[in-house]
Structure 1
Amino acid sequence: MRAGTAVRLLEERVKRALGGGARAQRVLVLGAVLGLDGADKGTVSAMAGPLKHAFSIGNTEIGLLATVVAVVGGVFTIPVGALTDRVRRTRLLAFSTVLWVAATAMSGFAPSYLWLLVSRAALGAVTATSGPTVASLTGDYFPVRERARTYGSILAGELAGTALGFAVSGTVGSALGWRFAFWWLVIPGVLLVWAVWRLPEPVRGSQGRTEDERRSESEGAPPREDRDPAKKAVAASGVTADEDLVLREDPRGLSLWRAVGRVLRVRTNLVLIVASALGYFFFSGLRSFATLFTTHQYGVSNSVASLLVLVVGAGALVGVLAGGRVADRLLGRRRPNARVLVPTVCLLAVPVFAAPAIHTTTLLVALPLLISALILLGAVNPPLDAARLDIIHPYLWGRAEGVRTVLRTLAEGPAPTLFGFVSSGVFGGPHGLEYTLLVFLLPLFAAGLLGLVALRTYPKDVATAEASARAIRAEGA
């Protein structure tokens, strides 16, 4: 079979798997936006050794390079979320990608650690756009019944990008130097700007509905219940809305702080944000020191370590793709809290596999355990992200995602620096990173316990979001 034929067959299979040409394009582009950010973070981790040598810095300074991106991004996310709810989202995303390319090029030109740190801070301000816009566009591009599964396909882009950051940047950096490990990212960045610019802007609140369906609902027809299994399952369970939290005015007219207050009053949303933040806390610290830990713990070279990180990361990719599908399948079987149940079980199970993998020095023992742990960790986010859209009105999605990112950043942002400090300043010695990773498995277990709380509050918040949608439609009519 010729190469051209093989490529066309692969393209057709991808389109079918993602639901058709137009839908596949949107999933791939949104996934690539997250993937580019993941590739950048993977690059910093893969180049940790060369950067330490080039600027005479330690683990704490390496962690700070990741922390500054997260913290600055968190600061900018709420105002960007407000923009997302008001302006053309595809244009906002394209413009931010242009700035991302410029900031990444600056990182490669850094003559000093301070320059590199400042360029990373600029990158953080730009990456603030991706969370709110991707979440809002995902909610309006795709049908509600497939929300978790679709989110899984999009989030797979972030993991694939992170893997490329480790593998390609590690290879390029080893051959040409750490500066080229950043510069190669400019090429896919420019291509992504073109792809984002070509995306159509969906109607707000459409959630995958056709124009005829939206017109019928605006004229008073009830929405098709079979399109939203979450609301259907909740209604069948007899759970009613919290009347005190039902929106009775168009939330697009709310001031920023009133909107933030509304978002934080949704109990499930607050619990899921904290649980997600604890999960990201561990993953962020692990990602920043994965290559260093692998070389020291298992006695392999930097290039082999980058390859092993890629193999283990494939487990997270499997989890991301499977987690949303499992949750949506359970939801179709009338399990109203399925999008919370799946991540809760996974978070509670991750430490069972991760702890022995981190402690052992035998690679053959550690590898299957690490892959299993990453499968479970990857399965957490797609259903959680879908659940947050289920409990928030579509006109608040951008600001809700902004709030989530800020609160998540308070936990995730300091993680790389804290991991670096604890490993060298608290434990020290050859086992510093091992002990640090073991201690910071505790937040993952705490996140699982919070999921048990969300299992009880999620159905009522879904019912409240649906009651708000009905009240706002009636007010508009």
Structure 2
Amino acid sequence: MNPRQVVAALAERGARTLGGPARARAVLTLAGALAVDGADKGTVSAMAPQLTHAFGIGNTQIGLLVSVVALSGAVFTIPAGLLTDRTRRTRLLAVSVVLWAAAMLLAGASTSYLWLLTSRAALGAVTATAGPTIASLVGDYFPAKDRARMYGLILAGDLAGTGFGFALSGSIGSSLTWRFAFWWLVIPGIVLVRFIHRLPEPARGGQSRLEPGQEHISEERDVSETEELPDHESASRQAATGRPESDPAVKAARLARTEPHENLVLHRDPRKASKWWTIRYILRVRTNLLLILASALGYFYFTGLRAFATLYTTRHFGVSTSVATSLVLVVGIGALAGVLSGGRIADRLLRGGRVNARTLVPAVCVLTAPVFFAPAVYVTSLAVAVPLLVVGALLLGAVNPPLDAARLDILPPFLWGTGEGVRTMLRTLCEAVAPTLFGYFSADVFSRQGRDSGTGLQHTLLFFLLALVAAGLLGLVAMRTYPRDVATAQASTRRIEASLREPQEPED
């Protein structure tokens, strides 16, 4: 076998593992979009020591470099979510990656801390589109029965990108300068744009869902792109085929004899309602609000931990930056294993009739994670700390795929983009606060000398484990509200599609 044949054989095997060529193409492209964003975040953490020296800054300023991305992203995520539900999503995602690459060029060219901070703020505005567009595309590309598992494969891109950011950016920055640690990321960004641009746009509501083994992705015309047709004709074309797949969440809710909330059942296309009405409706879905808050608290801790992982490891365990980044990668493997297994476990339980499986798995995992993180942060032996951190990261990684799939279960598909936009805004606000708050607590609250120290970081990481406990408790409440909200979303979807098939009376 020559090298080309070996590569072809590996590619074919990989495509089969992901469910066939069509699914592999969608998964890898969407995962790539998350990977470039994760690589940037890993780069800031890996380059923290060099940035500290280059600009004469401390922990609080390093944390602010991460916070400003999330803060500016929070401002733009709801508009991005509303736009996601009303325009071509693949084009929107491609444009955002182009602007992302431009922001990375500006970051690497920074001559002052203010310049770097400003370029990071611009970066956050661009990355705001990723969450809503990817969530909406996942819902339309993959059947509900496989959605948590496929979501896990896509979310693995974020962790893989973060790992590459730590490893490659750390090596490039050490060999050259911190500027090249940012600039090299432009190359994969440009490559990714080509793949996103060639990715067909799926029809909304499930008509384009990819079945296992499918060879090609068929591109469907969306309602928003059929302006030359009368509204009732374009809507009927979209809704006529219905949903071919069997949704295990809906089946489980039906077996549990769960009735919908009649006051929340929608009868008309919500995209025609006002933006503020849409946002208020999304927040009235109780499970959605609980999951948004739980997700935000989980990301709060993970973001703070990621921002200071390299600094904490070098100071607490007395190792070099290169060793610290290698250890962070080892722990990241645990998180990656959790992302790949969490959705699979939840989907299997759901098919077995466990109606609240997609809320049960995240709640159990996030409540168990502090049991491993607390001793790992406290001990001074790497041999003891690393295995505990790997297990803790695995549990934390297992939370997101079923949680993200659950949020699609409890909203009709016409609101997936806006729903994810609302969730991402609240989540990114927590992400914005976390690094700066972690830095402040480590330098000014838990450090007696009033300056950065390994002890201050240690106490900070232990204290904010309370956020994970709170997230787990919210997840336990969501387990009770989830089945009825699934039934409500399904009833809304049926009635919305029925209204779309009805001929519309011409306006006077």
Please, what TM-score do these two structures have when normalized by structure 2?
0.91
The match for 1:243 is 262
Contact 2:96 2:129 in 1 (8 A): yes
Contact 1:144 1:207 in 2 (8 A): no
Shift of 1:2: 4.0
- Deviation string, structure 1 residues 432-459 (Cα, Å, up to 9, x no partner): 1111000011100110000110000000
- The CA distance in 1 between the partners of 2:10 and 2:374, in whole Å, is 38
- Deviation string, structure 1 residues 38-91 (Cα, Å, up to 9, x no partner): 000000000000000000000000000000000100100111111111111111
Contact 2:314 2:320 in 1 (8 A): yes
Contact 1:139 1:207 in 2 (8 A): no
Aligned partner letter, 1:236: L
- Deviation string, structure 1 residues 350-392 (Cα, Å, up to 9, x no partner): 0000100000110000011000000000000000000000001
The match for 1:72 is 72
Aligned partner letter, 1:476: L
The answer to whether the aligner puts 1:355 opposite 2:374 as a matched pair is yes
Shift of 1:209: 4.0
Aligned partner letter, 1:177: T
Aligned partner letter, 1:344: A
The answer to whether the aligner puts 1:272 opposite 2:291 as a matched pair is yes
C-alpha spacing 1:253/1:352, structure 2 compared with 1 (3 Å): same
Contact 1:144 1:208 in 2 (8 A): no
Residues 105-116 of structure 1: matches in 2 within 5 Å?
105-116=105-116
The match for 1:175 is 175
Task: Determine which of 485, 495, 499 is the counterpart of 1:461.
Answer: 485
* Structure 2 gap ranges (5+): 211-217, 219-234, 448-452, 502-508
The match for 1:252 is 271
The answer to whether the aligner puts 1:475 opposite 2:475 as a matched pair is no
Shift of 1:207: 6.2
- The CA distance in 2 between the partners of 1:334 and 1:162, in whole Å, is 36
- The CA distance in 2 between the partners of 1:241 and 1:29, in whole Å, is 36
Shift of 1:296: 1.1
Contact 2:207 2:242 in 1 (8 A): no
The match for 1:118 is 118
Shift of 1:8: 1.9
Please, what TM-score do these two structures have when normalized by structure 1?
0.97
Aligned partner letter, 1:431: T
- Deviation string, structure 1 residues 208-266 (Cα, Å, up to 9, x no partner): 5489xx999945x8755x62000001101101100000001101101111110110000
- The CA distance in 2 between the partners of 1:248 and 1:300, in whole Å, is 61
The match for 1:325 is 344
The match for 1:82 is 82
Residues 198-347 of structure 1: matches in 2 within 5 Å?
198-206=198-206, 208-209=208-209, 218=239, 223-224=243-244, 227-347=246-366
The answer to whether the aligner puts 1:393 opposite 2:412 as a matched pair is yes
Q: Aligned to 2:438, what secondary structure does the other structure show?
A: helix
The match for 1:8 is 8
- The CA distance in 1 between the partners of 2:68 and 2:454, in whole Å, is 27
C-alpha spacing 1:207/1:143, structure 2 compared with 1 (3 Å): farther
Residues 78-157 of structure 1: matches in 2 within 5 Å?
78-157=78-157
Aligned partner letter, 1:305: A
C-alpha spacing 1:431/1:236, structure 2 compared with 1 (3 Å): same
Shift of 1:13: 1.7
The match for 2:214 is none
What's the C-alpha RMSD, in Å, of the aligned pairs? 1.6
The match for 2:466 is 442
Contact 2:312 2:454 in 1 (8 A): no
Higher relative helix content: 1
Task: Determine which of 389, 393, 396 is the counterpart of 1:370.
Answer: 389
- The CA distance in 1 between the partners of 2:491 and 2:83, in whole Å, is 26
Contact 1:163 1:313 in 2 (8 A): yes
What is the aligned length? 474
Q: Aligned to 1:413, what secondary structure does the other structure show?
A: helix
C-alpha spacing 1:440/1:471, structure 2 compared with 1 (3 Å): same
- The CA distance in 2 between the partners of 1:394 and 1:328, in whole Å, is 19
Shift of 1:473: 2.0
- The CA distance in 1 between the partners of 2:348 and 2:236, in whole Å, is 29
Contact 1:37 1:158 in 2 (8 A): yes
Contact 2:205 2:239 in 1 (8 A): no
Aligned partner letter, 2:105: A
The answer to whether the aligner puts 1:451 opposite 2:475 as a matched pair is yes
Contact 1:143 1:207 in 2 (8 A): no
- Deviation string, structure 1 residues 142-192 (Cα, Å, up to 9, x no partner): 111100000000000000000000000000000001000000000001001
Aligned partner letter, 1:463: A
- The CA distance in 1 between the partners of 2:467 and 2:207, in whole Å, is 34
Contact 1:344 1:448 in 2 (8 A): yes
Contact 1:72 1:124 in 2 (8 A): yes
C-alpha spacing 1:453/1:208, structure 2 compared with 1 (3 Å): farther
